[in-house]
Amino acid sequence: MIKPPESNLEQSKIVYRSQQNIKSNQRSQCSVSRLICIQLLILLALLVLAAITIPIVVLILDNRSSPCSSTYSDTFTNGVTPTAAQCANWQQFKTSLTCSSYSKMRFYGSKDLVGVTVSDPSAVIALVVALKYNTTVTALSNGVYWRVGICGSGFEISANGFCACAANYALRPCHSNSDWGGMGSPTCSSATQTLSLYFE
């Protein structure tokens, strides 16, 4: 039996080993490529998750930082009885006072853009509760007596004068005649003006 030369055997072994090394390198390269692809997919998923989550978190934090507030504002005309729509807006405003607590009330309008502010939380809450539940209350703040109660055919909020033309500030959007209130005495047959009431 003829044996192949030793040199040929060695060459065959070298070629075989080279092929094995090439295959091994190819496998390593494939593994590295797969690992990179997986990492890129994970990174992409994290970016998508961040893009979805961050706006939601910002919105929640923004809502938490915003004060719970409600504003009523309407324009009343001299000599004209408040309309049904104005009365309905007033009623809707009163039912919208649903915050767990309030610390500020501001009464202002076109005749007095600064208006008057009540910052005593106990007085503000008392006025809010009376407006919301149609009850009567008197609250003292900074020397001003505020009252919520029935005046004519609806509820009013007024300062230093209860259902009286001499009141300094009065708002009666459901009144049955043209004495709908105003800013500065008298609050009956007042000049055309916008009246606004704000709670927070």
Query: What is the tens place of the pLDDT at every residue in 29-53?
Result: 657 677 787 888 888 778 767 766 6
The lowest-confidence range among 31-40, 131-140, 163-172 is 31-40
Q: What is the pLDDT of residues 68-91, one digit of tens each?
A: 899 999 999 999 999 999 999 999
| Confidence at residue 25, expressed as pLDDT on a 0 to 100 scale | 60
Q: Is the pTM of this model over 0.85?
A: no
> Residue 10 above 90 pLDDT?
no
User: Contact at 8 Å (CB) between 162 and 147?
Assistant: yes
As a whole number of angstroms, the distance between CA 190 and CA 182 comes to: 6
Q: What angle (nearest 5°) sits at the alpha carbon of residue 51, between those of residues 49 and 56?
A: 95
Q: What is the pLDDT averaged over residues 111-118?
A: 94
As a whole number of angstroms, the distance between CA 177 and CA 188 comes to: 10
> Residue 194 above 50 pLDDT?
yes
| Residue at 71: amino acid letter | T
